[in-house]
Amino acid sequence: MSNTTNEIQHCEVSITEFAAKFDCKLIHNPSSEFIKLESVTTNRPSFILAGWMDHFSRSRIQVFGRTEITYLKSLDPDIANERIEWLCSKYVPCIIVSRGIKVPQVLLKNAQKYDIPVFSSKKNTPLLIHDLFIYLNDLLAPTDSVHGILIEVFGIGVLIKGRSGIGKSETALELVHRGNRLVSDDVVDIKNVNGVLYGTSPAITADMMEVRGLGIINIRAVYGIGSILKRKRVQVIIEIEDWDSFKDYARTSSHRYSENLLGEEIPKYIIPIIPGRNIAILIEAAVSDFRLREDYYNPVAEIESRMT
């Protein structure tokens, strides 16, 4: 199952949730309970206050710092009102005044007129913008829902894939029993945050694993809180498949596979199933091999060097 969206998303966030996230005080509560967010960047409206309205992006959160508020107060009241009204008439997502500065009446009046939420934050302006950038990049990141299991093995995020019924959950259960940590079973929600893929579990199946013959197991309840991880970077894909006697499986590991997820190439290992193979141990070995290769160690190259 795959539901891929490679473009920046838009999202509606509860106003009270947003205020709590950034420890902001809500100065004007609009009629809507939600803020529509669709841009990963914010804007300090200095140019708008100076009268230059070209190339304005209405989708960005507007942040007023000490510089903007000081300049706004220096303007003729009619000009200040005209420029703030122009800004609010574009129905920006919200306005945040930083450093705990009192919100000017002209700003509050026009925000009320156009039903724009206004917040006050005690954070200094650069820190507030930095925190907003991280939050928005994660919230609006391209997403993908993938059929598989995400588990942390030796600190590495491993996405286990394979046909239904091939034994992914049983393998993951053994990996957890061996001290590794489960992130998600059956469906993994993946986000591409600035070129790094992170996987989480859908809320409804968090902590749970379905094993044929046993039913649904609460991994947290059985193995403890240390057996569960809420989010993990996806670094390796393990594809479990049925043994194909006509397929030429690599024996020297010189050929490297990869799979594209959300525009990123992820290293991939293909493990065929035959009787007597312990897939959990093979996955741990594959992860150890991956870690060594990340440090530029290649066992094939070492063997070749021994032959010279």
The label of the residue with tokens 């200095």 reads 46
- pLDDT of res. 295: 82
Residues belonging to the active site: 147, 168, 186, 251
- pLDDT of res. 2: 42
**Fold for domain 11-139?**
3.40.1390
Stretches in the chain below the pLDDT threshold 50: 1-4
pLDDT of 284-307, one tens digit each? 999 999 999 888 777 767 777 788
Would you list the domain boundaries of the chain?
11-139, 143-307
Q: Model's pTM, two decimal places?
A: 0.79
Record the tokens describing residue 58, joined without a space: 């209405």
CB 260 within 8 A of CB 144: no
Q: What is the C-alpha separation between 73 and 95, in angstroms, rounded?
A: 17
- pLDDT of res. 297: 78
- pLDDT of res. 1: 41
- pLDDT of res. 254: 57
User: According to the 3-state scheme, what is the secondary structure of 55-91?
Assistant: CCCCCCEEEECHHHHHHHHHCCHHHHHHHHHHHHCCC
- Architecture field, domain 143-307: 3-Layer(aba) Sandwich (3.40)
Q: What is the C-alpha separation between 204 and 264, in angstroms, rounded?
A: 27
Residue 260's beta-bridge partner residues?
Answer: 265
CA 156 to chain centre: 17
Among candidate residues 221, 196, 53, the one with its CA nearest the CA of residue 138: 196
Helices (H), 157-196: 168-177
